[in-house]
Amino acid sequence: MNMRPNSDEARDVAYHFHGYTNAQAHEEVGPLIIDRGEGIHVFDNNGKRYIEGMSGLWSVAVGFNEKRLIDVAHQQMQRLPFYHNFSHRSHGPAIDLAEKLIEIAPAPMSKVFYTNSGSEANDTIVKMIWYRSNALGKPEKKKIISRMRGYHGVTIASASMTGLPNNHRSFDLPINGVLHTTCPHYWREGQAGETEEAFATRCAQDLDEMIQSEGPDTVAAFIAEPVMGAGGVVVPPATYWEKIQAVLAKYDILLIADEVICGFGRTGNMFGSTTYQIKPDILTMSKQITSSYFPFSAFMMNDRAYDPIAEESGRIGVLGHGYTAGGHPVGAAVALENIKIIEERGLVANAAERGAELQAALADLASYKLVGEARGVGLIAALELVAPEGREDEFSAGKLGARMNAIMLENGLISRNMLDAMAFCPPLTVSGGELNEIINITRQSLKELEVEIAN
């Protein structure tokens, strides 16, 4: 990129340290600077319009300029711009939101704990699980099992649970006591002649064998996304969740549903746990809880998880954990209004209806030679790209995806390549016409990539 001196691009390179970015490459290519948003679209600082096919980062459910969220944030700022929940303090928005979340939970829940990001929520859950095990007089019961390619955040504990190599390399992760079992990606991990149901059985057996090998009395919890997001939009095979939950029940192991991406309508139900008949003990929420208009997250836990923790805090005299901005009144007010909008406008039903159209359209694109698999549920999906037959050595993992991502961006559609899987996660407000535009740009980009590779 040829950056003018003192331009926003040059100043970004000079002063801004980016997450999930090749820092050295950034000095050469510079940033794409997004200036404003409108509905499912965003505009860069040169005025070019893009469809935000990723809802920012899987998160802007109601679009990029929802006046009701802006207004409620302003009103709450005027009334009570900040307060905390330490030492028996509280405020109206935190109470109202906790009550609402318990009301809409996909399984019976007892309490809501507030944090500031999905990573922070999952990190806190690890601490709470350790605290609970000590309260139960089971100090050895501390291990947590996650899955390969699962994504649970980037703090030391949550990144350890994340099952992606680049979240571990050079960070000295994962920490001890965090294990990773089979990724439930049937297309990639299934064996020749193995049915989806047989693959699900094998995944459950792998989990069972890991628990037995480690010792059931040492394993406290299993954490998983209903549908894997950043690991490539991996949809669980038929009967997977039924079989996994049976294993956990057999050994009295807590189930943590990470709904940071799936929650609040993404899969065509309010929670992904409903879509897959999951009955979690603990459920993590962030991103779409406020449509990312405000940094905010939370987790819910049932009595089974909560009661020993409460009793231990009584024995010690305090629960020595909390965040200054946890349950921030502005964030809680925005979350409440965001959930109202999702409910009032039927956005969960829209996700199911538009989602069926998205899945069907992407399935049609699977006929292209460069597409290995189309997968998804509701308004979350992926196209997995594969190298032309006989030319696999030319295309290292992620090379096709990176090129496709660049072509789609040039054509006005923001996606995200997870290696060679192109993700689709538009706002829940997306219309049929807008969805057609997403598909048309994707089809055109595939054609351009095929021509480029052929030449």
Domains along the chain with CATH numbers: 32-62+346-454 (3.90.1150.10), 69-344 (3.40.640.10)
User: Which H or E run includes 111?
Assistant: strand 111-115
Cβ–Cβ < 8 Å for 158, 122: yes
DSSP bridge pairs for 373: 384
Extract the tokens encoding 26: 């950034």
pTM (whole model) above 0.75: yes
The Cα-based distances of 213 to 180, 209, 216, 367 in angstroms read: 13, 6, 8, 43
The closest of 248, 254, 243 to 301, measured between CA atoms, is 254
Pairwise CA distance, residues 41 & 413, whole Å = 9
Nearest-10 Cα torsion for 59, 282, 236, 398: 50
**Which residue reads 């999952």 in tokens?**
122
- CA 222, 228, 234: angle at the middle one, nearest 5? 120
| Max Cα-Cα span within the chain | 71
135 CB neighbour count, 10 Å cutoff: 19
Cβ–Cβ < 8 Å for 384, 424: no
Instruction: Using the CB atoms, write b or e for 75-106: b if 16+ within 10 Å.
Output: ebeeeeeeebbeeeeebebbeebbebbeeebb
329 CB neighbour count, 10 Å cutoff: 23
End-to-end CA distance of the chain: 25
Nearest-10 Cα torsion for 168, 169, 175, 177: 70
Q: What is the pLDDT along the chain (455 residues), one digit of tens a residue?
A: 667 888 999 999 999 999 999 999 999 999 999 999 999 999 999 999 999 999 999 999 999 999 999 999 999 999 999 999 999 999 999 999 999 999 999 999 999 999 999 999 999 999 999 999 999 999 999 999 999 999 999 999 999 999 999 999 999 999 999 999 999 999 999 999 999 999 999 999 999 999 999 999 999 999 999 999 999 999 999 999 999 999 999 999 999 999 999 999 999 999 999 999 999 999 999 999 999 999 999 999 999 999 999 999 999 999 999 999 999 999 999 999 999 999 999 999 999 999 999 999 999 999 999 999 999 999 999 999 999 888 888 888 899 999 999 999 999 999 999 999 999 999 999 999 999 999 999 999 999 999 999 87
The Cα-based distances of 115 to 34, 255, 351, 452 in angstroms read: 27, 20, 27, 46
The pLDDT of residue 1 is 60
**Which residue reads 């030492």 in tokens?**
87
**Which residue reads 């048309």 in tokens?**
440
Strands 416-418 and 421-424: antiparallel
CA-based R_g, the chain, Å = 22
Task: Name residues whose C-beta falls within 8 Å of residue 300's C-beta, 6 or more positions apart in sequence.
Answer: 101, 102, 105, 109, 110, 111, 112, 113, 282, 283, 285
